Amino acid sequence: MILTYKYRIKDGTVGKHLDRHSCACNFVWNYCCQIQREAQSRWKAGRAVKWPTAFDLIKLCTGAAGDLGLHSDTVQTICRQFAASRDAKHKCPRFRASGGSKRALGWIPFIPRAVKVDGAHVVYLKRKFHFWKSRDLGGKVKAGCFTQDARGRWYVAFQCEVTDELSTGNSAIGIDLGLKTLATCSDGVKVPALQHYLAREETPVTAGPSSVVRTPGPSWAMTSEQNAARSNPRDLSAKLVVQLGLATEPQRHAVRRISALSSRYLLFLTLTGFRRRTPGPPPFSSMNSTPGQTSAEGSFGRR
C-alpha cells in the first residue's frame, strides 16, 4: 500500500525559493486551464475538437521548465494532475491564483528522479531543503511534493510503497461514540473528550473582514478559514493527536464496529430524557468485518 510521510521544512531562509517555485507551478497550471477553455470554446462554436490529453499538454509545455525555474518532471506531473482532475469532475478546474485574497496554497510536485533524499534534507534543483525528520521513511519513494499550509509554512511529503500489515488479532471490538467522552470501547477503554476549545470561548475567531488578526507572516490577505487556522494552531494540533490515537488504538482487533447513532440524535435523547426500552446494545455499522460476523462482541452500558 501507499503511505504519505510528511515533514516540516525549515523554511526560515529557503521559503522564498519555494514561493517562487510555487508561482511557476501555478503558471503551468493556468496555462493548461487556458488550453482547456480554448478547446471548449471551439467545441461550442461547432468545430470538431477534442479535449487535450496529458500527453498533449506535456508536448505543449516542452522546453518551458528551464525558463520557469522548475524541473521538467515537475511540469509533466502538473500536466498529468490537471488532466486527472479535469477527467474526474468532467469540467475545467479553476485557475490557481498566486496572490490576493483567493491565493492558492503552494504546491510543487515531483517524482523520485527529480529529488535526492539524504538524511534530514532533500535536494531539489541543486538546492538543499532541510526538514525535521521525525521518523524514517517506511519504503521506496514513489512520488512527492512540497506543500504549504494556511499559515505559510512549508512541508515536504513523500508517498512511499510499504508492505500491507494485516491485523494479527482474532478479537472483536465495538466503539460507541459519545458526548461526554469521545468514544467508549466495549473492552472498557474510554477516549476522553479534550474540550480544549472551552478555554478560548471568550475570544472566538469569527468569520468576516473585521475578524482578521494582524499577525506577522506572509504579506497576502488571508481568508477567514486561514486566519482561524493561524490563530488557533494548538487547537488544531490537539485535534489531530486525538484523531490519530482513536484511529490507531483499535488496529489490534480483527473486527471493529462503530455505533450508527449520530451525535445530534444522542443529544436529542439526552435533552428529552428518552431511554432505550428495548434490551441489547445499540446498532452498529461494519467498518472492517470478516465473513460470517455481523455484530461486535461485548455490550455497552447506558449513558
- pLDDT tens-place string over residues 177-227: 777 777 788 888 887 777 766 666 555 555 444 444 444 444 444 555 555
Interval 41-58 mean pLDDT: 92
Is residue 124 located within the same domain as residue 22?
A: yes
Residue 112: band (very low, low, confident or very high) from pLDDT cuts 50, 70, 90: very high
Q: Is residue 207 part of a domain?
A: yes
Picking from 112, 129, 161, the residue at the C-terminal end of a domain is 161
Question: CA-CA distance, 57 to 9, in Å (whole number)?
Answer: 31
Q: Is residue 68 part of a domain?
A: yes
Is residue 152 located within the same domain as residue 217?
A: no
Domains in the chain: how many in total?
2
Q: Is residue 228 part of a domain?
A: yes
Is residue 76 located within the same domain as residue 124?
A: yes
Predicted confidence (pLDDT) at residue 237 exceeds the cutoff of 80:
no
Q: Is residue 299 part of a domain?
A: no
Query: 223 lies in which domain range?
Result: 172-288
Q: Between the ranges 6-10, 255-259, 289-293, where is the mean pLDDT highest?
A: 6-10
SS3 of residue 44 by DSSP: helix
Q: Is residue 293 part of a domain?
A: no
Amino acid at position 49, single letter: V
Residue 294: band (very low, low, confident or very high) from pLDDT cuts 50, 70, 90: very low
SS3 of residue 129 by DSSP: strand
Contact (CB, 8 A) for 145 and 157: yes
Is residue 227 located within the same domain as residue 284?
A: yes
Burial of 32 (0-12, 13-18, 19+ CB in 10 A): buried
Question: Would you state the pLDDT for residue 187?
Answer: 81
Q: Is residue 296 part of a domain?
A: no
Picking from 128, 161, 194, the residue at the C-terminal end of a domain is 161
Q: What residues are paired with 131 via a beta bridge?
A: 9
57: nearest Cα among 85, 71, 40, 77: 77
| Cell numbers for 236 | 488544531
Is residue 138 located within the same domain as residue 235?
A: no
The whole-chain average pLDDT of the chain stands at: 77
Is residue 111 located within the same domain as residue 186?
A: no
Picking from 133, 161, 189, the residue at the C-terminal end of a domain is 161
Question: Would you state the pLDDT for residue 177?
Answer: 74
Give the rounded distance of the alpha carbon of 166 from its chain centre: 24
Question: Would you state the pLDDT for residue 98?
Answer: 92
Rounded to the nearest 10°, the torsion over CA 219, 223, 226, 230 is 60
pTM: 0.66
Q: What residues are paired with 184 via a beta bridge?
A: 176, 190
Is residue 21 located within the same domain as residue 135?
A: yes
**Over the stretch 132-171, which tens digit does the pLDDT of each residue have?**
998 898 888 999 999 999 889 999 999 998 887 766 667 7
